[in-house]
Structure 1
Amino acid sequence: MNNYIHELEELDKKHFLHPTSSIQQQQQHGPSFIFTKGEGVMLEDIKGNKVIDGMSSLWNVNIGHGRAVMGKVAMEQMSKLAFSSCFATFSNEPAIRLAAKLAEIAPGNLSATFFTSGGSESNDTAYKLARHYWILKGLPNKQKIITRTKSYHGVAMGATSATGLKPFRDFTNSIAPDFHYVENTSSAALRQMIETEGPDTIAAFVAEPVQGAGGVHIAPENYFKEVRDICDEYDILLITDEVITGFGRTGMYFGIEHYNVVPDMMCFAKGVTSGYAQLGGVMISDRIHEDIAEHSTGTLLHGYTYSGHPMACSVALKNLEIIESEKLIDQAKQMGAYMLAGIKSLQKSQKIVGEVRALGLMGAIELVKDQQTNERFQVPVAPLVVTESAKRGLVIRSVVFDGQDTLVIAPPLVINKEKIDQMIAILADTMSTIETTNKRRNDG
């Protein structure tokens, strides 16, 4: 077994270029985990180590790991029709049924879906559709896209350009033009930017209902209502990015529902299949759908090979059935409140815990050197907490962009109180050890 594991580690180092990973760390140490099995909220690696998946892997395994029925659904569909193109008006029943189901559960009058393979493609599609819409309406100068600081929208070229976290844009030396970034919690700042740039040049404003990868930042209570009014006033499309927040994650079907606001377009992915297949999409309102149909004279020249993939759509339909039949949206709301109480308890027991926040099963813990002054550590501590927590049986993530030193947590919606208690206990133990070590260093 040791030789087998060593072989895989060496092959990984030589041939597998990992996404969003430290190349130096991988080349020196190999993969930190080689996972082989998942069950509920637990993951098991090739060495037999078991860990709580405190991130739903990538915010997406909403129904939990190890659902054999998902494999059965995929196999049944693949045995009949694994794939067929949806170009040139070709269609398939799973894609049709899923589009209809999404229209049923989506906020307001969002009624038509363009399918993609994931979140980055969904965001890129939304920006292109928004610009195309204004071209059809005879307003081709409305092409600028405004997004928010601390936002994350993906890593395709358009999505990278829209992301408000500068290190992601700095990864390449030439981002797409006409993207602008406004302060993430101020509707007044949005209005000022619109007036400065000129509303007749702006196609859309894009926002996550809760900023996920940027540090789980929750909007002020009236923010999205004010944003909706501003977009209506200046004739600008409102696009919500529900890639992370959709399908029960926040304790509602979609995150924007917390604010009683309906967007013009809505991007989704991740939780639509809970990671059991690759799928995403963009939903558009009745008005936009009707306008595009009325004003279009030729082909909609946008599409992906796997748009409307029949197997992925079948998996998504079963996933939504499980979310509803097992009442996982209510579960997320209840367990989210319990998780928030747990991370609040860390504020009292751990001196390095600053602000904590959560909406449903999306939580954040800011780490500070001094709770009273909110002074930060010179070198972020969150990555160390992540590493040490993994050794103790908990997988979470850190956010250190834009001066942040934050832990983020988003377990599967099937999590129970016992597992949340275990997560909090592991974090407390890890933080206590780190605090003791730092004190010894300072005293020494």
Structure 2
Amino acid sequence: MYSVSQGPKFVVARAEGPWLWDDNGDRYLDGTASLWYCNVGHGRTEIADAVHRQLTQLDAFTVYGDFANAPALELSERLAAHAPVADPRVILTCGGGESIETAAKLARRYWAALGRPGKTHLISRTGGYHGLHGVGTSIIGMDRFRTGFGPMVRENSVVPHDSVRALEEEILRVGPDRVAAFFAEPVIGSGGVYAVDAEYFAGVAEVCRRHGVLFVVDSVICAFARMGNWFGIERYGVRPDMIVFAKGVSSGYLPLGGVITSGALAEPFWDRPGNPFHHGTTYAGHPTCCAAALANLDILEREDLFTVALEVESQLDAAMRTLADHPLVREVRSGTGVMAAVQLTDEALGERGITTAEVFAEARARGVILRAIPHSLLVSPPLVITWEQIDHLVSTLRAALDAVAQRH
């Protein structure tokens, strides 16, 4: 995510809607909503005004222990009202990686509170991205993010992203008495935009229930209308034990995240004396960040960006699939949520020595920002993008592919 570079920097100076401007005044289409988060678009004065009002009333104060503030309480209530979790409770954090840490600790602590401290093993999926904190780095489904850091959380394993059978076999191999939780994104995002069929998550939920494994949905990328609903997982009709969220909850205007957990998981800590969950962070429940999130949710609902997102999903899918015939393209993955991936052929990446970074650079030179991973170019624009802007994005990506193909 971060790199050390001695070269010139691309300095983003301002933004509005789906557009960015650099410090030279050149305009670019934000084809990735920054890092998957600016769902309502840039430059929303309603959010800026809400932040200003909150700063003049209560800038910040901890919610540790029995302290609270009105924006944090209101936000928690609104999120709980929409969460597909039984008797939901909300733990606020500062972002997605911190939320994954919280969910993993809560899963392990829950089993210990029930007298089963051996249930500490965590299972995740190939391609899954769960942030780069300690637990997230340990369970991430991409080796390049784990290499060189030494041992972190040792008790974890990764299974194929689309196989219920592989999950059950791994639970049985490790032992149900040792497995605490299974983590999965509704659609794998940063790992390459991989969706699954409608039956997959129903099967996962049943396997986890049968073997006493907590089912944790990582909705950091997929929530807040990016999949046309509140948390993404509703699309599959299942009720997980926990949902991790961040990014789109505030459209990135201020850092915020959280975990929505079922009442059953909270019960040992909320309703039983002498059994605390010793966990919390300095800025969790930050009132100004929560005020930004509340204004963001107002926009999502007032403009019905949930319905809009389903329309944009269809438009983006149709446009992206026109790239499938390009000689450098192996596969286009789109049609589930406002996100897509264009994977290059093995020949392009191998024999011809083409890199996705080259395509990214050509697209940016033509005024479109994409996201490059080793084998694919990823797209996840703000939900307010228009059909004309989608067409501009896709035609620019085609031009970038053409330019790279001509060089090689």
| TM-score interval, normalised by the smaller of the two chains | over 0.9
Q: What whole-Å deviation, never above 9, does each CA across 1:213-271 have from its counterpart, x for those lacking one?
A: 10011123211110000000001100000011110112222211111111100100000
What is the Cα deviation at residue 276 of structure 1?
Answer: 0.6
Q: Secondary structure at the match of 2:316?
A: helix
| 8 Å CA contact retained: 2:269, 2:277 | no
TM-score with structure 2 setting the length: 0.97
Q: Secondary structure at the match of 2:73?
A: helix
Q: What whole-Å deviation, never above 9, does each CA across 1:52-99 have from its counterpart, x for those lacking one?
A: 000000000000001112111001001000011111211111000000
Q: Secondary structure at the match of 1:200?
A: coil
Q: 1:383 aligns with which of 357, 370, 377?
A: 357
Residue pairs, 1:39-438, within 5 angstroms: 39-109=16-86, 111-348=88-325, 350-358=326-334, 359-368=336-345, 379-400=353-374, 405-438=375-408
Task: In structure 2, list runs of 5 or more residues that go unmatched.
Answer: none
Q: Distance in 1 between matches of 2:3 and 2:293?
A: 32
Change in 2 beyond 3 A, CA 1:380/1:311: same
Q: Distance in 1 between matches of 2:278 and 2:391?
A: 51
What is the Cα deviation at residue 369 of structure 1?
Answer: 5.6
Q: Distance in 2 between matches of 1:154 and 1:110?
A: 27
Q: Distance in 2 between matches of 1:208 and 1:124?
A: 15
| 8 Å CA contact retained: 2:83, 2:231 | yes
Q: What whole-Å deviation, never above 9, does each CA across 1:306-347 have from its counterpart, x for those lacking one?
A: 111101111111101101111111111111111111111112
| 8 Å CA contact retained: 1:110, 1:264 | no
Q: Secondary structure at the match of 1:88?
A: coil
Change in 2 beyond 3 A, CA 1:136/1:387: same
What is the Cα deviation at residue 183 of structure 1?
Answer: 1.2
Change in 2 beyond 3 A, CA 1:128/1:108: closer
What is the Cα deviation at residue 383 of structure 1?
Answer: 1.4
May I ask how many residue pairs the two structures share in their alignment? Answer: 407
Q: Distance in 2 between matches of 1:377 and 1:331?
A: 42
| 8 Å CA contact retained: 2:357, 2:372 | yes
Q: What whole-Å deviation, never above 9, does each CA across 1:181-217 have from its counterpart, x for those lacking one?
A: 1111111111111111100001000001111110011
- The letter for the 2-side match of 1:381 is T
Q: Distance in 2 between matches of 1:105 and 1:133?
A: 24
- The letter for the 2-side match of 1:419 is Q
Q: What whole-Å deviation, never above 9, does each CA across 1:362-400 have from its counterpart, x for those lacking one?
A: 111111166xxx996563532111111000000011121
Q: Distance in 2 between matches of 1:136 and 1:203?
A: 12
Instruction: Give the aligned CA root-mean-square deviation in angstroms.
Output: 1.5
Query: Which range is displaced more, 274-283 or 163-172?
Result: 163-172
User: For the pair shown, which has the larger CA radius of gyration, 1 or 2?
Assistant: 1
Q: Distance in 1 between matches of 2:231 and 2:65?
A: 31
| 8 Å CA contact retained: 1:367, 1:376 | no
- The letter for the 2-side match of 1:437 is R
| 8 Å CA contact retained: 1:110, 1:265 | no
Q: Distance in 1 between matches of 2:351 and 2:198?
A: 30
> Structure 1 residue runs of 4+, over 6 Å off?
none
Query: Which residue pairs with 1:22 in the alignment?
Result: 3
Change in 2 beyond 3 A, CA 1:380/1:126: farther
Q: What whole-Å deviation, never above 9, does each CA across 1:25-47 have from its counterpart, x for those lacking one?
A: x21x121x111110000000111
What is the Cα deviation at residue 298 of structure 1?
Answer: 4.1
| 8 Å CA contact retained: 2:310, 2:337 | yes
Q: Secondary structure at the match of 1:199?
A: coil
| 8 Å CA contact retained: 2:323, 2:332 | no
Percent identical pairs in the alignment equals: 37
Change in 2 beyond 3 A, CA 1:138/1:295: farther
Change in 2 beyond 3 A, CA 1:375/1:228: same
- The letter for the 2-side match of 1:168 is F
Q: Distance in 2 between matches of 1:145 and 1:219?
A: 21
